[in-house]
Amino acid sequence: MAWLRSFIYAVFLIVTVIPYAFACLLWAPLPATWRYRLTVGWPRLAVWGARVICGIRWQVKGWENLPDGPAVLLAKHQSAWETLFLPSHMPRQLCFIYKRELHRVPFFGWGLALLSMIPIDRSKGRDAFDQVVSVGRQRLDEGRWPMVFPEGTRVAPGKMGRFKAGGAMLAVRTETPVIPIALNSGECWRRNAFVKRPGLITVSIGPAIESKGLTGDELNAKAYDWIDREMRVLNPERYGTT
């Protein structure tokens, strides 16, 4: 049954993303705010489809920890689900930091390129980070929240990947607080797994961590510690704790 539901969901994603991608091209001339609101309609639809077709429900803890001001979000990364949920359900526009090569991906990349996020040109080497800070500062001034998965890749449930410094350094250089986010989406939607399993995903938003007076490593460590502790609350069985 889970395989069949996952197959139907895969068809649902394909059938909806292709016309949506062409629609993104049609509304490309619209103001950036309009483009964002229209484009994230597909991720919202995908999250809805996962709930209705695959039985993947969700809940959020800590909405009150989101500030009414600038922030850099550092989130746990277990599956593709959060890449759909976070931009479509956060109260402010998000801008992901990602490699520019994703713009070449048919349909998905087209829509991504129109959202004025923070693409990285990896061919520039060390200069790429200066680019991230420059563009990230612009996005913060626009009222948007840079969104970073510091582990850099999806990590299986029960494990924590090493945090890369980019997101924390952006926060330090712009004197912006960090909002840590823990989540257990991998319990339902495993990395590279076709079958999606029904269940409840919890997204837990932590209190702001001020960046002023900290180094990037110190800020990263604070975010890591909070997310690690919260993951043990969300799924203690994965860590052998109670």
Other CB atoms closer than 10 Å to residue 104's CB: what's the count? 9
Residues in the chain: 242
Q: What would the two tokens of residue 172 be?
A: 């330090």
Residue-wise pLDDT for 54-75, tens only, equals 999 999 999 999 999 999 999 9
Assign 123 to helix, strand or coil: helix
Residue range(s) defining the domain that contains residue 57 = 2-238
Q: Rounded to an integer, what distance in angstroms lies between the CA atom of residue 233 and that of residue 136? A: 32
pTM above 0.85, yes or no: yes
Q: Rounded to an integer, what distance in angstroms lies between the CA atom of residue 73 and that of residue 236? A: 24
Q: How high does pLDDT run on average in the chain?
A: 90
Q: What would the two tokens of residue 60 be?
A: 């959020």
Q: Rounded to an integer, what distance in angstroms lies between the CA atom of residue 197 and that of residue 55? A: 7
Given a contact cutoff of 8 angstroms between Cβ atoms, the answer to whether 235 and 91 are in contact is no
Q: What would the two tokens of residue 214 be?
A: 């900290």
Do the bridges between strand 118-120 and strand 56-61 make them parallel or antiparallel, or are there none, so unpaired? Answer: unpaired
H or E element: which one contains 87? Answer: helix 81-89
Q: How far apart are the first and last CA of the chain?
A: 32
Residue-wise pLDDT for 101-133, tens only, equals 777 777 667 667 777 788 877 666 666 677 888
**Quick one: pLDDT at residue 102?**
75
Residue 160 maps to which CATH number? Answer: 3.40.1130
Give how many domains the chain has, as a whole number: 1
Closest to 173 (Cα-Cα) out of 222, 144, 216:
216
Q: Higher pLDDT residue, 177 or 129?
A: 177
DSSP 167-202: HHHHHHHHT--EEEEEE-GGGTS-TT-S----EEEE
Given a contact cutoff of 8 angstroms between Cβ atoms, the answer to whether 25 and 110 are in contact is yes
Sign of the CA dihedral with 71 first, then 74, 80, and 82 last? negative
Q: What would the two tokens of residue 58 be?
A: 């969700």
The arithmetic mean of pLDDT across residues 207-215, rounded, is 96
